[in-house]
């Protein structure tokens, strides 16, 4: 297969607050691979790793409201919608974006295990 062995996307810890034991994830994936359930599967594995191996108390995901698929991935990973900050992020082209927040805390994650 043409893509075998090649990266098709990434997941990063974009924010880590050691004092509050909190990590925030960001992700993106090549268009050819969208809507196959790949990102929820991969993000769930990273969330498990952060709780089980790193020992965080909370994992968050935020996304631009205009990228609803990203919020759907957060929901499919068991995160709860926590609200939207209006015009919270200014892009390099000067557009102000509304940003939605999702989170899962350790006690919720433990119940899924
Ligand atoms: C977000 C992203 C990683 C999703 O990964 P994925 O592996 O395709 O995720 P899924 O296979 O679960 O499919 C996306 C889900 O979003 C839903 N979705 C897609 N477009 C949508 C839209 N416009 N409105 C609402 N839901 C939408 C799909 O129906 C699917 O949900 P379902 O399984 O309940 O039907 C991928 O779309 C992406 O890289 N997007 C561009 C980058 C991006 O937005 N990054 C986040 C920055 S904030």
Q: H/E element holding 63?
A: strand 58-64
Atom 8, ligand 1: residue with shortest CA distance: 34
> What are the pocket residues of ligand 1 if the criterion is a CB atom closer than 6 Å to any ligand atom?
27-29, 34-40, 63-64, 67-70, 72-73, 76
Contact between 51 and 44 under an 8 Å Cβ cutoff? The reply is no
Per-residue model confidence as pLDDT tens digits over 30-65: 999 999 999 999 999 999 999 999 999 999 999 999
The pick from 72, 76, 78, 85 for probing ligand 1's pocket by mutation, whose C-beta has the most ligand atoms within 8 angstroms, reads 72
Torsion of CA 85, 78, 106, 16, to 10 degrees: -50
Strand partners for 108: none
What is the spatial distance between Cα 60 and Cα 70, in angstroms, rounded to a whole number?
Answer: 12
Report the separation in Å between the CA atom of 74 and the middle of ligand 1, taken as the mean of its atom positions: 9
Q: pTM of this prediction?
A: 0.93
Q: Measure the CA–CA gap between 88 and 97, rounded to whole angstroms.
A: 6
| CATH numbers and ranges of domains, the chain | 9-111 (3.40.630.30)
Whether residue 25 has pLDDT greater than 80: yes
């Amino acid at each position: 297969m043409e893509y075998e062995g090649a990266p098709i996307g990434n997941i990063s810890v974009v924010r880590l607050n050691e004092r509050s034991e909190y990590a925030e994830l960001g992700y993106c994936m090549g268009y050819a691979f969208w809507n196959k359930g790949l990102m929820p599967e991969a993000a769930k594995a990273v969330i498990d790793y952060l709780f089980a191996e790193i020992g965080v108390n909370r994992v968050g995901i935020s996304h631009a409201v205009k990228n609803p698929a990203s919020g759907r991935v957060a929901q499919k990973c068991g995160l709860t919608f926590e609200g939207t900050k209006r015009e919270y992020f200014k892009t390099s082209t000067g557009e102000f974006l509304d940003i939605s927040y999702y989170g899962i805390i350790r006690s919720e994650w433990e119940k899924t295990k």
